[in-house]
Amino acid sequence: MKMGALNDYNLIAGIYDRLVYFVFGKRLWDAQREFLHTIPADASVLVLGGGTGRFLHAMPAQVGKIYYIDASEKMLRIARQQEPPHLSGKIQWAHGTETVLKPGKTYDVIITFFYLDLFTAEKLENIMALLRQTLHEDGLWLMCDFELSATTHRWWQSILVKTMLLFFKIMTRLEAKKLLPFAAFFARHQLIAQREASFCKGMVRSVVYVKKMVQ
């Protein structure tokens, strides 16, 4: 039997934003918007797994070119249809995955919002290494993702994470089996947290990492 692609969001692309709102209200969008203002003027930006691109509406108008990659045709179509007027002509849309990145091409800023949580640890190590190479020295990497907080809220967060993993496993053939400690991955790849904020009682973290030279 031929199996479909992993992490395939086509089936739920049309309801994705409503689903997010139903479960989290506006908090995930707040987390995505939190540090967009730190993107320098004229910066070249790489977006991976951008989905419907809701956050693009909060992008600073003075941003440079944006290279926007998503593996789902339907997600990409929705994002293109909703392209904010202030970014008109600045976005290059690409249907695909990190494999479409051109070797040697680098960006000032990378954005991964709820993208790193799609992968197994082994795959994530490879993706982090590839994306690190794709980022300019002193470049910024804006990420948002889930984590289990070390608070009294951990028990319900753990139930919610397990429920989401099961839901996305069924609906998208999610590759990830569990939530990974993303901060440790960034540390291993010599990316330094510059600014951080948490949302949903610590269940969502939004971080700006900066790339430093490997000694």
- The distance in angstroms from the start CA to the end CA of the chain is 49
Please state the φ and ψ torsions of residue 70, each to the nearest 5 degrees: -145, 145
For ligand SAM, give the closer residue by CB, 43 or 116. 116
Half-sphere exposure of 86 (CA within 13 A, CB side): 9
For ligand SAM, give the closer residue by CB, 43 or 176. 176
Which residues of the chain form contacts with ligand SAM (CB under 6 A)?
A: 7, 9, 48-51, 69-72, 75, 97-98, 113-115, 118
The full DSSP string for 9-78 is -TTTGGGHHHHHHHHHTTHHHHHHHTTGGGSPTT--EEEES-TT-GGGGGS-TT---EEEEES-HHHHHH
Point out the residue whose Cβ comes nearest to ligand SAM: 51
The two beta strands, 135-146 and 191-199, are unpaired
Question: What's the min distance (Å) between Cβ of 30 and ligand SAM?
Answer: 12
**Bridge partners for 206 per DSSP:** 144, 197
Question: What's the min distance (Å) between Cβ of 113 and ligand SAM?
Answer: 4
Question: What's the min distance (Å) between Cβ of 37 and ligand SAM?
Answer: 18
For ligand SAM, give the closer residue by CB, 157 or 206. 206
For ligand SAM, give the closer residue by CB, 43 or 204. 204
Question: What's the min distance (Å) between Cβ of 63 and ligand SAM?
Answer: 17
